[in-house]
Amino acid sequence: MALALRLGATGDGALGENIRLFPGRPVATARPRQRILLSPPSLVGGELASLDHTLASGWIAPAGPVPEAFEAAIRAATGTEQGLAVSSGTAALHLGYRVLGVERGDEVWTSTLTFVATIAPAVQMGARPRFLDVTADSWTLDPDMLETRLRQAANKGKLPRAVVPVDLYGQSCDLDAIVTLCGRWGVPVLCDSAEALGAEYHGRPVGKGAALAAFSFNGNKIITAGGGGALVSDDAGLIARARHLATQAKETAPHYQHETTGYSYGLSSVLAAVGLAQIGALQDRVAARRAVFARYALRLSDLPGIAFMPEPGWGRSSRWLSVLTVDPARFGTSREQVRQALDAAGVESRPVWKPLHLQPAFRGAAFHGNGVSGHLFDRGLCLPSGAMLPEEQDRVIDTIRACYRG
């Protein structure tokens, strides 16, 4: 029986085509109008060859030459000295919290405008989250607010165990400012760069500069291994410790010896083979996502009340997702009405992340606000940003234009 995988667009724009791993009936050429998804996985072309090579080698466990080659490619893409490939971005963050020594009762500070996985592992470890707001010109952690709060916390003798800024939607946070501030008080920085592989900060790749940075190769990210993640650092000790914990914390002995408990977080060679093929096309993917963003901006920026996520001077976003904001007073239609119109036209779009301080899961957590994240949640909309045919992107653009009530 043929095994069919429903995949997103490939480079030549075959959105939603059925691709067969094994010979079967020929792929149908006529295809119905497909729903346009936010960020579907798409193949670069080398995956089958990479899988074939891996399976034929017999090295399919989460060890051996393929994960090692993938780690080398991750180090090269991020300019870091050390990299550990793991089973998810969330696992990478969890290991980051472990090696930074997060314990029950510790505080961990992060940007409120992010996906739940940024903080979930720390909360599960018994840490108490403190959420800080973002700046309007970057949508990432506000360094001035961080400085004020760090000074107050130092005076009270209650500094956080870690500060976790987020590179949002492919846009780097102001990492040097954050690392300098945290360094003043000896607080390590774990950067959640899950959405920003391939982006740049002050001309260097995102991932460099913090004590640790975490990446994701989930199916919706800019490149995928079909699931996976990575933890990178310039500190060999931190990554060695994370690697030990990721593989059940086995001590060197002929029998099974454990000084502590770890996790089964290794990345299968089978998935690493897919990731290895994909990471070779990273800069093509960044260029494609930036072109999608540029086309939205060109065709929609003239509309009153429509604005796009800014790109501060310090960085070059990967534009993992194209995000705009809708001012209902000037556009004549609310963000939610635009989302529903897109849905009716067969287009997936999503509100900007619901700030974590508004999530029932973190009710009662400390929060320092300036109004920006709440405003972005009310008005922000993420648009389809993966590989698309021009006529598919036109469908998104035309639907949004038709919502304008001048």
Ligand X SMILES: *Cc1c(COP(=O)(O)O)cnc(C)c1O
Chain residues binding ligand X by CB under 6 A are 88-90, 114-115, 117-118, 166, 192, 194-195, 216, 218, 229
For residues 288, 27, 31, 296, the Cα torsion angle rounded to the nearest 10 degrees is 0
Tell me how far, at minimum, the Cβ of 90 lies from ligand X, in Å. 3
Q: How far is the CB of 356 from ligand X (least distance, A)?
A: 11
User: What is the distance between the alpha carbons of residues 175 and 342, in angstroms, rounded to a whole number?
Assistant: 35
Whole-angstrom distance, CA of residue 13 vs CA of residue 27 = 15
Shortest Å, Cβ 390 to ligand X: 27
Q: Which residues pair with 20 in a beta bridge?
A: 4
In 144-283, DSSP assigns E strands to 162-164, 190-192, 200-201, 204-205, 212-216, 229-233
- Which residue number, 169 or 331, has a Cβ lying nearer to ligand X? 169
Whose Cβ is closer to ligand X: residue 69's or residue 267's?
A: 267
Closest to ligand X by CB, 121 vs 160, is: 121
Q: Are 366 and 131 in contact (CB under 8 A)?
A: yes
Of 69 and 321, CB closest to ligand X:
321
* Residue (95 or 166) nearer to ligand X, CB: 166
Beta bridge mates, 192: 166, 214
Burial class of residue 337 in the structure, from the number of CB atoms within 10 Å of its CB (0-12 exposed, 13-18 middle, 19+ buried)? middle
Q: Which residue has its beta carbon closest to ligand X?
A: 89
To ligand X, the closest distance from the beta carbon of 196 in angstroms equals 9
Whether 105 and 128 have beta carbons less than 8 Å apart is answered as yes
Of 89 and 266, CB closest to ligand X: 89
What is the distance between the alpha carbons of residues 312 and 307, in angstroms, rounded to a whole number?
A: 15
Report CA 65 to chain centroid distance, whole Å.
Answer: 26
Nearer to ligand X, 216 or 325 (CB): 216
Q: Measured from the CB atom, is 112 or 118 closer to ligand X?
A: 118
Residue closer to ligand X by CB (options 90, 399) is 90
Among residues 12, 20, 10, the alpha carbon closest in space to that of 40 is found at 10
Q: Provide the minimum distance between the beta carbon of 35 and ligand X in the complex, in angstroms, as a whole number.
A: 21
Q: What is the dihedral of CA 276, 91, 366, 131, to 10 degrees?
A: 0
Torsion from C-alpha of 199, 38, 213, 230, nearest 10 degrees: -110
Comparing CB distances to ligand X, the nearer of 140 and 325 is 140
Least distance (Å) from ligand X to the CB of residue 194?
Answer: 4
Query: Which of 202-207's residues contact partners 24+ apart within 8 Å by CB, and which partners?
Result: 202/176, 202/314, 202/315, 204/79, 205/77, 205/78, 205/79, 206/78, 206/167, 206/172, 206/315, 206/318, 207/77, 207/78, 207/79, 207/80, 207/232
Q: How far is the CB of 118 from ligand X (least distance, A)?
A: 5
CB of 234 to ligand X, least distance (A): 21
Minimum CB separation of residue 77 from ligand X in Å reads: 16
Nearest distance from residue 136's CB to ligand X, in Å? 20
**Dihedral pair phi/psi, residue 250, rounded to 5°:** -80, 125
